[in-house]
Amino acid sequence: MKAVPRSAVVLSIVVVVSSAAASLATLVWRGSFPESSPASIGNRVLAEARGWSAATLLVAIPLAIASMWAASRGSLRGRLVWLGALAYFVYTYLEFAVSPPFTALYLLYVAAFACAIPALVIGVAATDVSELPVAFGDRAPRRTIAIFSLLVSSLLAVAWLKGIASRTLAGSFGWPLGAEAVGHVVHALDLGLQVPLGIAAGVMLLRRRPAGVLLASMMLVNGVCMGAALTAMVLCAAADAGTTLLSAGPFAVVWVIGVVLALVFLRSGVRSLRAAHDIGHVG
């Protein structure tokens, strides 16, 4: 398997720096999200963005740094975690960049997802997927991961398509405003990125295709970061609105399940690229 390309490392460093700067600014500077009319919408969006940014700082960024360092030293698990973290940054900062409002952090958002996309492509291209099934063997809980992936993806798709279908059939078209505009972007990214990744990972794992291990790893790591962000987002929004924090419960439960499955799955593989290569030759 090829070494981690230097270009992907450099791009990933830009992603980490940009996302860290944007997250810190969101947490400490109220002006990071301009007030909207009515102001309550802007306050709610700021609270949600702060929860998401806190999770990015505490979970996604440390995970990306540690896995990138491990991957550069030949760790197979490190490479898979690094690619999953990049998938999270692509989604997160593409959403921040194309959602209202226009903020002073706009160019940081663009820099983060613009560098995360080529870093992810380069990293995947440098990964020999034919070695992954050998490295994981029969130890990986493929069926369990596949069912979890397909179930979560299907529920997410149904949740969004229900409203989209009803509005389409009713002819309720127009320009989304305020919080609806943010939801419009989230629906598109979930249905266009998260759902296909989850379905592809599940199907390929069940069919025991080599790429299934790679996609499942990316899906799980991305899910760990996303679950932390969603849970923190709902908690911060609830605290800001003075409502019950129990609304974050379902997100927290799914996140914990995802963390456990990610740990079990990644631990079932060999530790290093060299070991995976040696196992392949012995087989």
Query: Which pLDDT belongs to residue 283?
Result: 44
Query: Which pLDDT belongs to residue 264?
Result: 93
DSSP string over the chain: -PPPPHHHHHHHHHHHHHHHHHHHHHHH-GGGS---SSHHHHHHHHHHHHHHHHHIIIIIHHHHHHHHHHHHTTBHHHHHHHHHHHHHHHHHHHHHHHSSPP-TTHHHHHHHHHHHHHHHHHHHHTS-GGGHHHHHTTTS-HHHHHHHHHHHHHHHHHHHHHHHHHHHHHT------THHHHHHHHHHHIIIIIHHHHHHHHHHHHTT-HHHHHHHHHHHHHHHHHHHHHHHHHHHHHHHHT--GGGGHHHHHHHHHHHHHHHHHHHTS-SBHHHHHHHHHH-
Query: Which pLDDT belongs to residue 282?
Result: 42
- In the predicted model, residues of the chain with pLDDT beneath 70 are 1, 36-43, 271-283
Question: Each residue of 142-194: pLDDT tens digit?
Answer: 999 999 999 999 999 999 999 999 999 999 898 887 778 888 999 999 999 99
Ordered by start, the domain boundaries in the chain are: 6-282
